[in-house]
Structure 1
Amino acid sequence: MAEEETQALHCIGCGARLQTTEPQKAGYLPAATLAKMQADPDADLYCQRCFRLRHYNEVQDVELTDDDFLRLLTALGDSDALIVNVVDIFDFNGSVIPGLHRFVGDNPVILVGNKADVLPKSINPKKLTNWLTQAAHAQGLRPVATLLTSAKKGQQVDELLAMIEHYRNGRDVYVVGVTNTGKSTLINQIIRQLTGVRELITTSRFPGTTLDRIEIPLDDGQALIDTPGIIHHGQMAHYVDQRDLNLVAPTKPIRPKVYQLNPGQTIFLAGLARFDFVRGQRSGFTVYADNQLLLHRTKLVNADDFYARHVGELLQPPRAEQLPDFPPFVRFEFTPKVKSDLVFAGLGWIVIPAGQTVAGYAPKGVDVLLRKALI
């Protein structure tokens, strides 16, 4: 159905204007579904997100615009609530909410590092928790507690609920996070825990199911409030085709790959990033990225020409049809004094021995940064 034909139709669950063209936006439902609903005079008009919530207890993420983002953050500061901030451990910098600490006011924050299951088992969980807390401090955030989870596998959900109960002191709980952190998957796990996972629930009516919040009732009359995913424009996920999202959002434990490199060698991470060994002594460099991501080694002197000839083909993603809109690479050079990770936000990292001069390239807008080695 044409977009203009749906202008007067709104979802009775969340109030969003129904539309059939943008699945990731509010009010979406397939055109055929809308036509079927309109053919039945007794049918209730629900968007796909609200339909799945009502019938399957399943929350789907909806992206916020920048204006919605500011409105949501302002509301957090005006409330008296516990804030649960979900971040992606694999992509902390791409999943942190810019300036969140300025908006939460005196409200306590629990930091939840999701997707712990994709990191190598060699990473010590306690060390990782400490690192995550320190990374939050560097962003100005002072969480009262930090917890590692795997929403996909339902790990640590009981611990999170106990932690929420401990810190909320009879208040509402807001769950916030950017898109692609697995926040909705975590919320779905919480819903299953709170409503009884063994019961086949075919209808659910959560109060306050509006465009910008879903309220999950708690025993004392307060609510756990899910908010839509906030768009972080620096995420690598925004620069890949939907068919390639698995390459920037690993779902299986990463198997590190070790390269013995001489100065003057380059590794391409598909066509999404580039690593140059500029100066130093022959060393081993360990790459942590999705197991299926293409890694291609070549000579630094030929790297520019190689990329120009093969991006979109051998070096894929990006796909050939994306190249006209794909941002140019930006170069960052580092010489770490201690063993460090060169991080390509949302794509992975490469462990750099101390004293080696290296350069990392990523699409303009995507962070390339150095941190103390996790492993």
Structure 2
Amino acid sequence: MEELLCIGCGVVIQTEHKKELGYTPQSALEKGLETGELYCQRCFRLRHYNEITDVQITDDEFLKLLHEVGDSKALVVNVVDIFDFNGSIIPGLPRFVSRNDILLVGNKKDILPKSVKASKVTQWLAERAHEEGLRPVDVILASAQQKDAIKDLMDKIEKLRQGRDVYVVGVTNVGKSTLINAIIQEITGDKDIITTSRFPGTTLDKIEIPLADGAHIYDTPGIIHRHQMAHYLSGKNLKFASPRKEIKPKTYQLNPEQTLFLAGLGRFDFIAGDKQGFTAFFDNELKLHRTKLEGATEFYQKHAGSLLVPPTKAELGTFPELVRHEFTITEKTDVVFSGLGWIRLNSAAKVAAWAPKGVGVVTRKAII
């Protein structure tokens, strides 16, 4: 069968994989063939709703794109998820972007508790970035949901770019495309007045957003990080990996040899240490369950899919087994379940964190 191409970006049209390039619903394909205007869903949404959707590309394609950024004279805006900093870092980014300046943007600041000072989070992000070898010229917090945050971000970009183009880069699930859509609305003042003619360079690998001085903001596809929890959740359960409301921390007083189950998605064991409070930072709807460490594995086998959901009974067949990661903690520390949330320890303890096989678990200096 002859390949059908999107007239907007040239990608091969396909109707089976929603998250991959070229997807369009079967009904839209049939209509496009009738009218002669066949668009992939990504281009259709851009054309009719001025909405940029995230697309995923392979590691090799992403590296090629980063080399292109390095060959340009531009400001690089690296969007990371405050909620999952370690899971949203792009390995080797400074090397690929060459001498270009990097502005680090911590997205989703609105889901952190209001009691947290922005200045402390900004400083924390800067410290973590330096540990990863990043030397951003500045760090700013943002939220696609908050207008003032977008205006501050645009002001910062305008100040730092000095007439240069801007490349926005980030891994999938950091909210980059939502942020880009908010930027477009800020630039135009009205989300309903843009047409595709305002995006002359809409291509498979990036989208060009023209600026007043002839430069462009380039929105690039996101690289996939397979160790994020989102890749192991079904559509209706993705909300647990992408909180949209301010997190309300929950503190549990645990004795040694007690366990906290994070629904059926993870597990936290307090193995040894003095009784203390452990504060959990997860989506407000994620059910946490406290039980004894002894027999916890059997408890999970018995109740996963019923008392401990998600995953549901139907999803258990494809859900990865939980893998154990042990840590000896000596100071105030976050134990992070990549893309799901974290548990803060206040003092010395020996603990174990269990996460689905393939999902990263790391410790870091406490963010709060």
* TM-score between the two structures when normalised by the length of structure 1: 0.94
Question: Which AA in structure 2 matches 1:25?
Answer: E
What is the aligned partner in structure 2 of residue 282 from structure 1?
275
Residue number among 35, 48, 55 corresponding to 2:41 in the alignment: 48
Q: Quote the residue 2:305 is aligned against.
A: 312
Answer yes or no: is 1:161 the counterpart of 2:159.
no
Aligned to 2:195: 203
Aligned match of 2:359? 366
Partner in structure 1 of residue 259 of structure 2: 266
Matched, 1:255 2:248: yes
Task: Provide the residue aligned with 2:226 in structure 1.
Answer: 233
> RMSD value over aligned CA atoms?
1.4
Q: 2:210 aligns with which of 192, 210, 217?
A: 217
Note the C-alpha offset of 1:162.
Answer: 1.4
SS at match of 1:156: helix
2:328 counterpart letter in structure 1: T
Matched with 2:288 is: 295
For 2:149 and 2:89, the matched residues in 1 are separated by 21
Report if the CA contact (8 A) 1:56-1:201 is conserved: no
Asked whether the 8 Å contact 1:118–1:252 carries over to 2, the reply is yes
Letter in 2 for 1:39: E
**Distance change (3 Å), C-alpha of 1:124 and 1:202:** closer
Q: How does 1:318-333 map to 2 (within 5 A)?
A: 318-333=311-326
- Secondary structure in 1 matching 2:329: coil
Q: Which amino acid aligns with 1:11?
A: C
Unaligned runs of 5+ in 2: none
**Alignment deviations for residues 239-292 of structure 1 (CA, whole Å, 9 cap, x no partner):** 111110101110001111111111111001011111001011221111110010
Distance 1:223 1:20 in 2: 32
Matches within 5 A, 1:111-190: 111-190=104-183
Q: Partners in 2 of 1:99 and 1:233 — Cα distance?
A: 17
Shift of 1:17: 0.6
* CA positional deviation for 1:104: 1.1
1:79 partner amino acid:
S
Q: CA–CA distance in 1 between the matches of 2:93 and 2:32?
A: 40
Alpha-carbon distance in 2 for matches of 1:195, 1:10:
30
Output the CA distance in 2 between the equivalents of 1:159 and 1:202. 22
Deviation digits for residues 109-167 of structure 1 (CA, Å, limit 9, x no counterpart): 00111100001112111010011111111111111011101113334111111111111
Aligned 1:336-347 pairs, distance under 5 A: 336-347=329-340
**CA contact under 8 A between 2:278 and 2:343: conserved in structure 1?**
yes
Q: Give the distance between the partners of 1:115 and 1:96, measured in 2 at CA.
A: 15
What code does the residue aligned with 2:251 have?
V
- 1:55–1:201 CA contact under 8 A, matched in 2: no
Shift of 1:237: 0.4
Partner of residue 30, structure 1 = 25
Show CA shifts across 1:156-193 (max 9, x none).
11111111111112211000111111111111011111
Q: Indicate yes or no: 2:11 matched with 1:16.
A: yes
Identity fraction in percent: 58
2:264 aligned counterpart, secondary structure: coil
Runs of 4+ with >4 A deviation: none
Structure 1: runs of 5 or more not aligned: none
Alignment of 1:351 onto 2:353: no
Larger mean Cα displacement after TM superposition, 92-101 or 271-280: 92-101
Question: Is the 2:50–2:192 Cα contact (8 Å) retained in structure 1?
Answer: no
Q: Is the 8 A contact 1:239 1:318 kept in 2?
A: no
Counterpart for residue 74 of structure 1: 67
Cα drift, residue 352 of structure 1: 0.9
Q: How many residues align?
A: 367
SS in 2 for 1:325: coil
Q: Do the aligned residues in 1 keep the contact of 2:49 with 2:192 (CA within 8 Å)?
A: no
Q: What TM-score does the superposition give when structure 2 sets the normalisation length?
A: 0.96
Matched, 1:39 2:34: yes
Q: What per-residue deviation string (whole Å, max 9, x for no partner) do you get for residues 184-228 of structure 1?
A: 11110111111222x741623201111111000111111100001
Shift of 1:374: 2.0
* Aligned amino acid, residue 362 of structure 1: A
